[in-house]
Amino acid sequence: MRYRSAAHTPVTYVIIAVNILWFLAVELPRGLGAYGLVASGACAPVLVTSGDWYRLLSAMFVHASPTHIVLNMISLWSLRMVEVWFGSAKYFVTYWLSGFIGFLLSTAITSPMTVSAGASGAIFGVFGAVLYMALRGILTKNVRNQLIFILALNLVYDVVTPSVSLAGHVGGLVTGVMCAALFVQRARMQVNVIAICCGILTAVALAFAYFG
């Protein structure tokens, strides 16, 4: 399938824009240390279980360093074709659920004081969707090889970055595979209302993170 402009992948470009804006306007002024990340909406199990539910969503837009956000945004941009294949609504639901479940899993099994952040869990969900299509033979070997290369880069960054949750990435990856299996088998399935609800919840979570 071909696309010529951002009009074909609007959700991808909106997500990238919000991530960059959040990093520049919120994170940099508050600092990139542990306290700054928490103040910007990062996820910490002790805070989530104390009532800060919004961190399971806002943490998707918080990044530990310039390298972290650059790598994530390049990875997301390279996977923008998934939005063309699935459609914007299904693509966003896949991204959102993968990030949310990734941080939920991380909260459940990591130390209460662990601070984790990043769009990586959600992006790994998109990776999972592509991986599913590659394994089903829907994609070419060339696309599959590119996917493996980008996935390897992200895994290396996971290992060397303490503030990135490997459990969250695995949760996101599995969620993405499951979403792809559902959406490929039920191509006519409509999730527009779900996507809108996900967007509203994300906006509310970011508002809590900014003002809270």
Residues designated as active site: 120, 169
Q: Report how far apart, in Å, the C-alpha atoms of 51 and of each of 38, 45, 54, 56 are.
A: 14, 10, 8, 11
Question: Are 195 and 92 a contacting pair, CB within 8 Å?
Answer: yes
Q: Residue 116 — φ and ψ, nearest 5°?
A: -130, 150
Question: Are 112 and 49 a contacting pair, CB within 8 Å?
Answer: yes
Question: What residues contact 121, with CB distance under 8 A and at least 6 apart?
Answer: 60, 98, 99, 101, 102, 103, 106, 165, 168, 169, 171, 172
109/166 Cα distance (integer angstroms): 11
Paired tokens of 5: 């402009």
